[in-house]
Amino acid sequence: MTLALLDCPTGLAGNMLLAALLDLGVPEAVVHQPLAALGLAGRYRLVVEERRSGGLRGLHLAVDSLEPDPPHRLWGELRRQIAAAPLDPALRERVLAVFTLLAEAEAVVHGQPLERVHFHEVGALDALVDVVGVCAGLLHLEVEPLLCTPPPAGHGSVATAHGPLPLPAPAVLEIARVRGMPLASSEGFAAGELTTPTGAALVACWASGFGVHPAAVPRRIGVGLGTRQLDRANLLRLTLAEPLPESPGAAPGEIREPLLVQQAQIDDASAEDLAFLGEALRQSGAVEVFSQPVTMKKGRLGTLVTALLPPPLAPTLRQVWWRHSGSLGVRETLQQRWVLPRRPATLSTPLGPVRIKWARLPEGRWRAKAEADDLAALAHRHGMALGQIRALVEQALAGAVASQEPLPGEPDREHPELSEPQPGKRLRGQQEPGQPEPGQPDPDRSEPGGSAAPQAGARGSLP
């Protein structure tokens, strides 16, 4: 596993992430192979250029669409296409997770049924290339965990297929709300989009945490550039690093992260009021909310409500306390917690898909647990006991492990050449053998503002 630190001072976009991965040495074949499995070979071309932004170098990536008549893509059709493609199981799960988050956000903000969501911005060919390419590249580098600084989302408005929309983009706000992803201030930036829905969904699904990066030794750095001309370097940096020992007793694979504890003792709320407060805190990004009965002054019985949250969300959650509780004060304590590297996955079973939480133990063994909500949903759908469903899911999970399919984050034992990073295989800006000369790159669709003219060192890459 490889610790990755993502620094995004000017926002996030899928093509910037993919460019950073290529700058780290991920072979373009890692991107092309799964896209070909999705039937997209010959429908796009990667245009990769080494550029400068604010005096700093990096790679810029654009996707040229070669589809003469791009099809309208509905989420239901796209999901079936991804599910049926002969992709590596870990990659399929990651791609489905990202697009599911995007589709759910679009459905909420546009008030549409999930299956009928039209992917205008996020479902076009370039977004497919970005999502599949970024997920494939991160798996290729065996990234786990990924830690990210809060990205600025932008302000003003952006032109879309629905007409002008306010910024931050509604889908970006919905993704941040659902996943508790903090957004940095856009103060000081010119009006415009800084974080796209695709970029937000990718990081929301991959990042283990947000905030200031922990102490670590940088080993390799990839820089992805945006297109918009800002008053500063428009880039993101993806650093592969070696974490420093957190303490003499730290075991390999353990991760320490900051956690803020907010507490209030409440004696004037009903059980319904407390339940509503707890849910409001969770919806605003709390990692966990719990309560305990306490005896307060004058012998009054009350409830101690505790919320655990990432430190950057403290101001947001304080507003929830003021709005939904009668407390006149909230205590805050900064603590540290140890966590195991973990990632979500989806397990296919005869009864239907089940979300799985994978955790890697210090000795390297993976532990899995099925989502209780999914088990309950299958029990209701099939009229079976919860225990029966759990046993069937555990059987399917054991079968997946026994078949020697690569576990999340582990290399493919059958194809090690697809698992080991090969830095230096391609020089920056060097055209690979057999690749056509580049055409004019499209504008960076993830960042409005136009495209700079192609520079020397640009190359086109056909799958």
CA dist list (Å): 62 to 80, 98, 238, 400? 26, 20, 18, 37
In a domain, 408, yes or no: yes
Same domain, 217 and 183: yes
Q: Are residues 230 and 134 part of one domain?
A: yes
**426 lies in some domain:** no
40 lies in the same domain as 157: yes
In single-letter form, the type of residue at position 158 comes to V
Q: What is the pLDDT of residues 390-408, one digit of tens each?
A: 999 888 887 765 553 434 4
Q: Which pLDDT does position 289 carry in this prediction?
A: 96
66 with 215, same domain: the answer is yes
User: Hey, which residues does 355 pair with through a beta bridge?
Assistant: 346
- Are residues 369 and 233 located together in one domain of the fold? no
User: Is 137 in the same domain as 236?
Assistant: yes
Query: Is the residue at 424 inside a domain?
Result: no
Question: Is residue 315 in some structural domain?
Answer: yes
Q: Is residue 396 part of a domain?
A: yes
Q: Is the peptide bond prior to 258 cis by the omega test (within 30 degrees of 0)? A: no
Residue 457 lies in a domain: no
Question: Domain range holding 146?
Answer: 2-243
Q: Are residues 14 and 118 in the same domain?
A: yes
210 and 275 together in one domain: no
CA atoms within 13 Å, Cβ hemisphere of 229: 4
- Considering the domain architecture, whether residues 133 and 219 belong to the same structural domain is answered as yes
Residue finishing a domain among 416, 431, 447: 416
Integer Cα distance of 238 and 222 in angstroms: 5
Residue 207 shares a structural domain with residue 306: no
CATH assignment at residue 311: 3.30.70.1380
Residue 29's Cβ-count burial label (10 Å; 0-12, 13-18, 19+) is middle
Q: Answer left, alpha or beta for residue 38, where phi above 0 means left and psi between -120 and 50 means alpha.
A: alpha
Angle subtended at Cα 129 by Cα 123 and Cα 135, rounded to the nearest 5 degrees: 105
Which pLDDT score is estimated for 432? Answer: 37
In a domain, 252, yes or no: no
Cα separation, 12 vs 6, whole angstroms? 10
**What 3 state SS string does the chain have?**
CEEEEEECCCCCCHHHHHHHHHHCCCCHHHHHHHHHHCCCCCCEEEEEEEEEECCEEEEEEEEEECCCCCCCCEHHHHHHHHHHCCCCHHHHHHHHHHHHHHHHHHHHHHCCCHHHCECCCCCCHHHHHHHHHHHHHHHHCCEEEEEECCCECEEEEEEECCEEEEECCHHHHHHHHHHCCCCECCCCCCCEECCCHHHHHHHHHHEEEECCCCCEEEEEEEEEECCCCCCCCCEEEEEEEEECCCCCCCCCCCEEEEEEEEEEEECCCCHHHHHHHHHHHHHCCCCEEEEEEEECHHHCEEEEEEEEECHHHHHHHHHHHHHHCCCCCCEEEEEEEEECCEEEEEEEECCEEEEEEEEECCCCCEEEEECHHHHHHHHHHHCCCHHHHHHHHHHHHHHHHHCCCCCCCCCCCCCHHHCCCCCCCCCCCCCCCCCCCCCCCCCCCCCCCCCCCCCCCCEEECC
The count of domains in the chain is: 3
The reply to whether 308 and 359 lie within a common domain is no
All residue ranges of the chain with pLDDT < 50 are 121-123, 404-456
